[in-house]
Structure 1
């Protein structure tokens, strides 16, 4: 059954405000909830946070008071939605358990998007990034075992494997090599725009989370690991945001943001297994339909175009959280030694990459490597969760002397 959000009417904006009791949602049970329910919550928190940030930036560049007031009204409703979504997470989870879930999101959401992406260049961007987030999950899982004495399968279940990806220490690249070519807004498929917005938002919230929680730890290795991986997430945000065509007007970008929110809430409403959470997705979808209507109205007024010129006439197939073990193993076997050069990808380590490696890894103490060494020493072996049998780590064609 097709669903065109541009033709649907949602809850009027004046009817969307909720009181404190309505906002005080009951969190999911961390011991019994589907791990992918937690992943959907984390994803939608990132989507809502990006929507709020974008709305603020748009308002700062808008000279018309009436329009800024309209944006402020929508933004307040988005802020209530973000609190509702994020507060579905349980306070019983430690920060590290939430971090493991963040990296599970990055692994399985990015893999799914890569599998569905019709543009080969954009698909390569997602394939490249997912091998790095996959390795972050492995590093954090070892930190979790070492300082909380628990194993990551209690968080990710048997859905996502935990083993080395592209080693984190070789993920540090010169900043200019993190900028990709953007898609062509006039030629690219509408689904590609939604994919880029979704993954950018997810990576952005991860970057922000690590920036803020990293210094709250007492353990030196934890502080150092958050710092290292947090800088890689900065690279990832640059990587993904550069895929979006900067030629889109502010009003076109607003329209795409609101359309994407409708798409994501509709997707998760179709796939959610927790009825209580599903009702939140349904309510928020009906709110977002009104936000999209307002964005379409502003787009017509300021850009003089019809929304149908840039948006899909119906929502694509729903975004789905599902295991991607075979897909990731194929990437591990074929793309682990890929790095970037300019806006492209290469397999041979080039001079700028090696120089940057010497700069950032120069003192020899690399947190992402040290955490594995420390956990082997403390636990007797490093932590892995290999569901489909052992997977040999492919050899990397990289001069290890760049670590010195």
Structure 2
């Protein structure tokens, strides 16, 4: 179903504030939920967190008190949306189980974006990043089996493979080499702008999550692995946010944020398998439609332009969480040895990359390698997904 959010009206803003009873959502059942329902929850939490952080930054740079009041009004509702979405995650799930789901989001969201991205340079940025998140999932899966004695497949349910990607120890590049060329706001397709904002928000939320939960573990190897991967997530946020044209005005960014929320709530509502969660996506979509109209009005009044100059007339095809096994395997076959140099990609370990590796690792094996050695000592093997035949059978059963 196509939707033109510029024409569709939602719930009036003055009716959007919810009571505690309405915000007290029942969490999903971690043992019986669709893994992609959990992925959609994690993704939308990142989108809502980005909306709130962006609104705060806008307010700090805006001298107009009336605009700041309008931003605050919408932001309060966005905060309530973030609470309702994030509180769908179950308290029964451990931090590591949620971490595995975060990495499943990173793999299948970024792979879908890469498959759908029309701009070759931007597509390459997503292809490069997904192989690193793929390896993070692998490292955390080995840690999970060591600490909780469970299989990561119980979380990702064979929808996403658990196997090595580009080795995590090679993700530590000089910060200069994490900055990409931005798209041109005047010529970039609207879908490209939504993709860049979506993946940036998702990686930012992952970075913040690891920054905060890592010290909660007592096991030294867990604390160390979270510390290492949290630093790589910083590099990923730099990598993706640099794709966004810094010449976009605050008003352009505001309407793009709101339009993207409409796009994603609509996408997830269309594919959600849990009726109760689907009702939340639908409710929030109807809220975001009005937030978009507020943003569009502000742009017309203060930027002197019509939002239709920067937004698509109707939403793109829905963003879909689905298995990307063959696509990722194809990237592993062709791009696993890539690193970055300046704003481009190379296959050789250049001098600046080697110096950074020496400085960060200090001549020792990093946590991402030590977790594998400890897993090998305990189990005599590394953890990987079940056979591809078993994976296909589980996938057929999942979609039956």
Spell out the pairing of 1:379-394 with structure 2 (5 A cutoff): 379-388=379-388
Compute the displacement of 1:263 (Å).
0.2
In the alignment, the residues of structure 2 paired with residue 227 and residue 197 of structure 1 have an alpha-carbon distance, to the nearest angstrom, of 25
Spell out the pairing of 1:346-357 with structure 2 (5 A cutoff): 346-357=346-357
1:57 is matched with which residue? Answer: 57
Contact 1:161 1:387 in 2 (8 A): no
Contact 1:163 1:386 in 2 (8 A): no
**CA deviations over 1:360-385 (Å, ceiling 9, x no partner):** 11231310000011011112211001
In the alignment, the residues of structure 2 paired with residue 378 and residue 17 of structure 1 have an alpha-carbon distance, to the nearest angstrom, of 52
Q: What runs of 5+ residues in structure 1 fail to find an aligned partner? A: 391-404
Partner of 1:295: helix, strand, or coil? helix
Compute the displacement of 1:387 (Å).
4.3
In the alignment, the residues of structure 2 paired with residue 55 and residue 214 of structure 1 have an alpha-carbon distance, to the nearest angstrom, of 27
**CA deviations over 1:189-221 (Å, ceiling 9, x no partner):** 000000000000000000000000111111000
1:92 is matched with which residue? Answer: 92
Size of the aligned set, in residue pairs, is: 390
Segments ≥4 residues shifted beyond 6 Å: none
1:171 is matched with which residue? Answer: 171
Partner of 1:10: helix, strand, or coil? coil
Q: What runs of 5+ residues in structure 2 fail to find an aligned partner? A: 391-400
Partner of 1:47: helix, strand, or coil? helix
2:233 is matched with which residue? Answer: 233
Partner of 1:6: helix, strand, or coil? coil
**CA deviations over 1:213-260 (Å, ceiling 9, x no partner):** 111111000000001000000000000000000000001000000000
1:127 is matched with which residue? Answer: 127
Normalised by the length of structure 1, the TM-score is 0.96
Partner of 2:345: helix, strand, or coil? strand
Q: 1:231 to 1:218 in 2, by over 3 A?
A: same
CA RMSD of aligned residues (A): 0.9
1:153 is matched with which residue? Answer: 153
2:327 is matched with which residue? Answer: 327
1:314 is matched with which residue? Answer: 314
Counterpart check, 1:345 vs 2:352:
no
1:361 is matched with which residue? Answer: 361
Normalised by the length of structure 2, the TM-score is 0.97
Compute the displacement of 1:386 (Å).
4.8
**CA deviations over 1:4-29 (Å, ceiling 9, x no partner):** 10111010111001100000000001
Spell out the pairing of 1:165-314 with structure 2 (5 A cutoff): 165-314=165-314
In the alignment, the residues of structure 2 paired with residue 79 and residue 387 of structure 1 have an alpha-carbon distance, to the nearest angstrom, of 43
